[in-house]
Each structure stands twice: as structure tokens, then as C-alpha cells.
Amino acid sequence: MKILFSGIQPTGKLHIGNFFGAIKNWVNIQHDYKSYFSVVDYHSITIKYDPEEMRERVMDMAVNLYACGIDMEKTNLFIQSEVPGHADLTWIFNSVTPMGELERMTQYKDKAQQNAKNVNVGLFDYPVLQAADILIYKAEVVPVGEDQVQHIEFTREISRNFNSRFGQTFPEPKELLTKTPRVLGIDGEKKMSKSLGNDIGLLESGEEIMNKLRGAKTDPARVTRNDPGNPDVCNIYSYHRLVSHEDERSEVVDGCRSAGMGCVDCKKILHKNLMKVLDPIRDRYENINKNKVSVREILTQNAEKCRRIAKQTILEVKEKMGLNPLWKI
Ligand code: TRP
Ligand code: SF4
């Protein structure tokens, strides 16, 4: 089986864009590979944060992923900072990384602009840590969103640089993009994002979600109930594509185009189908949360496994780099 790696930052609450855009895909393919999923806390410290909140966020992200259906026991779901090899390999990769490559990274440029008062070396080096995450397990497949493709290209470059200097060691991993197009926020304009306040939280109650849907943008052509609309330009319909069955979708399409169905009813159908997906996740989340100790135990075991594998790669790398002189005596 090929090796798969992906990481997610402990960002606080997940939203349905994270779920339908990434995590659902992870769940679907997790058993087709030897999978590693990491809560990448070392990536998160490159931006100002509160340590108490971080403690919560890291654990909460693990519980969320578990609740979404990541098989914590069969796949290696673990916390990045508990496997020191990632940081070790980052330092090694720093020496085969041209500054110019990092300066080109668009995520760095964006974040440096947003956090102009705290542009630290970690923020700059972020893609190198990401390359180390992937390559320390010699992963070949990396399921990510469109915005991470540049980092995966960069990872291939680091792999080539290392291999050509020290001998064939690492694969050239490929990104695996989901078929789901990016999920827009309820404003119907920007990508769904917690910080923009246009998100629907994964764990929100049915009532909270209905309130958000009531205010969500639809096709502006439907000024009154009698004006026909076009589902192709309506963001609510793009959500239907995520959760509604074909039959119900064609009902919506016909109703919208003929003005036979109002937007309120359309949103109610969406809500019913969305909650069919979200209610079980929230139930699981609440149950798992009652037994966080066992999640902590599995995370510890998984980190242990990852450390063993990471150590093999580090030994191989150091051997190739001439960093183990005592070994040969
Ligand atoms: N940078 C990724 C993001 O912002 C998270 C990440 C860290 C990651 N390390 C990774 C993704 C390794 C894939 C593989 O979404
Ligand atoms: Fe959008 Fe549905 Fe209203 Fe049509 S009926 S405009 S698809 S919300």
C-alpha cells in the first residue's frame, strides 16, 4: 500500500467547508493507503496564540477528526510536536532549501501581510516543516486543497535537491485534490472561513444552522417569491450538491426555475439533509468528549509508532549525510 500523509492545523472549531472540502475525503480514502494524519501544532505556533487555548485546540481537533470518522486506531492520527523527527528533518532540509524558493510561497506572502507585526523565521520556514512532515514517512500521496498545491510542489523540489546531493532517499509526493469545489461561505462570495464569520460550524445545533441559512445569500434574481431563479448561480444550491440526493435536487431545480418553490422551503430541505450528516457527527463528538482520556491514550500510542518510523528515516538520512561518524568505528 502507498503511504499517505496529511496535516491539519488546530484552528479551533471546524466548519462544513473543512468537512466537505477535506476531511470527508480523508475518511473515504483512509483505508486505501497506509495513512498518517497529523494535528500540526508546530505549524500553528508561527502565528500569535494563547497557550491555554492551544492546549484545548490541539486535543479538540483530534476529537473532531475522530468524530468525523477518522479511524484513529488503524490510521496513525497523531500530534506533530510529539514526534521530534519532524523538527530534526526540517533543520536538515533547511540546508538544501534555497531562500528564493521560500520567498515565492504565496501562503507565506499572505500571512506575512496579515501578521506584519510578527513575521518570524518559523512563518518563513513553514513549508520546509511541511515537507519534513510528508517525507519523514516517505509518503507519496498528500490529500490537500488547491491552496496547498504550491507547498507540495515545493516538497518535491526538496526531495529532488536532497536526493541529487546525497543519493536516492525520498519519493516525490503528489497532491490528491478532492472533487468537491471549494465551499463558499453563507455570504455566497468568499471561501468559507471562521475568521470571516461566514461559516457554518460542524458542531452547531440544528437551530443555529437554520438561523444562519435563513440569512444566507440566494440567487439575487429572486426578489419576490414569484420571481424564478437559477440554481446554478445560487450558493444554497451548491450546498445541496454536497448533501441532497439527486431526486430532491431535481425537485429543487424545477421548483426554483418555475418559481414553484420558495427559497425558504428550499433552505428547509437543505437543512434536513445537512443535519442528517451533522447530527451523527455531533453525537459522536459529545460521546468521545466524555472519554477524552482514551483519545489521549491512542494519540500517545500513535506518536510512539510514528517516532519509531521517523527515527529510521533520520538514521538513514544522517548516514547518507556523514552525520554518524561513531557508527563506523
Ligand atoms: N499547511 C497545511 C494547511 O495549512 C497543513 C499541513 C501541515 C499539511 N503539514 C502538512 C498538509 C503536510 C499536508 C501535508 O492546510
Ligand atoms: Fe437558491 Fe433554492 Fe432559492 Fe433557487 S430556490 S434561488 S436554489 S435558495
**Rounded to the nearest whole angstrom, what is the distance from the C-alpha of residue 209 to the centroid of ligand 2?**
17
Percent of the chain with pLDDT over 70: 98
Examine the domain organization and report whether 59 and 82 are in the same domain.
Answer: yes
Whether residue 327 has pLDDT greater than 70: no
Q: Which tens digit of pLDDT belongs to each residue from 131-177?
A: 999 999 999 999 998 889 999 999 999 999 999 999 999 999 999 99
Ligand 2 close to Cβ of residue 261 (< 6 A) = yes
Indicate which CATH number applies to the domain containing 29.
Answer: 3.40.50.620
Ligand 2 close to Cβ of residue 213 (< 6 A) = no
Domain assignment present for 102: yes
Nearest to 39 by CA among 67, 25, 60: 60
d(CA 156, CA 177): 16
Q: Is 194 a catalytic residue?
A: yes
Ligand 2 close to Cβ of residue 186 (< 6 A) = no
Examine the domain organization and report whether 56 and 150 are in the same domain.
Answer: yes
Examine the domain organization and report whether 156 and 300 are in the same domain.
Answer: yes
Domain assignment present for 190: no
pTM value?
A: 0.93
Ligand 1 pocket, mutate which of 4, 9, 174 (most atoms under 8 A from CB) = 9
Whether residue 307 has pLDDT greater than 80: yes
The per-residue pLDDT for 11 is: 87
Q: Residue 46 — very low, low, confident or very high, per pLDDT cuts 50/70/90?
A: very high
Q: Which tens digit of pLDDT belongs to each residue from 247-304?
A: 999 999 999 999 999 999 999 999 999 999 999 999 999 999 999 999 999 999 999 9
Ligand 2 close to Cβ of residue 231 (< 6 A) = yes
Examine the domain organization and report whether 210 and 118 are in the same domain.
Answer: no
- What is the number of structural domains in the chain? 2
Query: In this predicted structure, which of 91-105, 257-271, 286-300, 312-326 has the lowest mean pLDDT?
Result: 312-326
d(CA 277, CA 73): 23
Ligand 2 pocket, mutate which of 243, 252, 257, 273 (most atoms under 8 A from CB) = 252
Examine the domain organization and report whether 177 and 299 are in the same domain.
Answer: yes
Residue ID of nearest Cα to ligand 1 atom 8: 7
Query: Which of residues 267, 285, 303 is at a domain's end?
Result: 285
Examine the domain organization and report whether 144 and 280 are in the same domain.
Answer: no
Whether residue 328 has pLDDT greater than 70: no
**Rounded to the nearest whole angstrom, what is the distance from the C-alpha of residue 195 to the centroid of ligand 2?**
26
Examine the domain organization and report whether 261 and 162 are in the same domain.
Answer: no
- Choose the catalytic residue: 2, 13, 191, 272: 191
Examine the domain organization and report whether 127 and 143 are in the same domain.
Answer: yes
Ligand nearest 107 Cα, by number?
Answer: 1
Per-residue burial over 194-231, b = 16 or more CB atoms within 10 Å of its CB, e = otherwise: beeebbbbbbbeeeebbebbeebebbeebeeeeeebeb
Ligand 2 close to Cβ of residue 185 (< 6 A) = no
Domain assignment present for 131: yes
Residue type for 235, please?
A: N
The per-residue pLDDT for 324 is: 82
Q: Which atom of ligand 1 is nearest to the CA of 143?
A: 13
Q: Which domain holds residue 221?
A: 206-285
Indicate which CATH number applies to the domain containing 245.
Answer: 1.10.240.10
Q: Is 111 a catalytic residue?
A: yes
The per-residue pLDDT for 180 is: 83
Whether residue 181 has pLDDT greater than 80: no
Instruction: Please state the rounded mean pLDDT for residues 236-255.
Output: 97
Domain assignment present for 228: yes
- Choose the catalytic residue: 111, 138, 212, 267: 111
Examine the domain organization and report whether 281 and 296 are in the same domain.
Answer: no
Q: Which tens digit of pLDDT belongs to each residue from 56-69?
A: 999 999 999 999 99
Ligand 2 close to Cβ of residue 269 (< 6 A) = no
Domain assignment present for 243: yes
Ligand 2 close to Cβ of residue 219 (< 6 A) = yes
Examine the domain organization and report whether 266 and 324 are in the same domain.
Answer: no
The per-residue pLDDT for 326 is: 67
Residue ID of nearest Cα to ligand 2 atom 6: 219
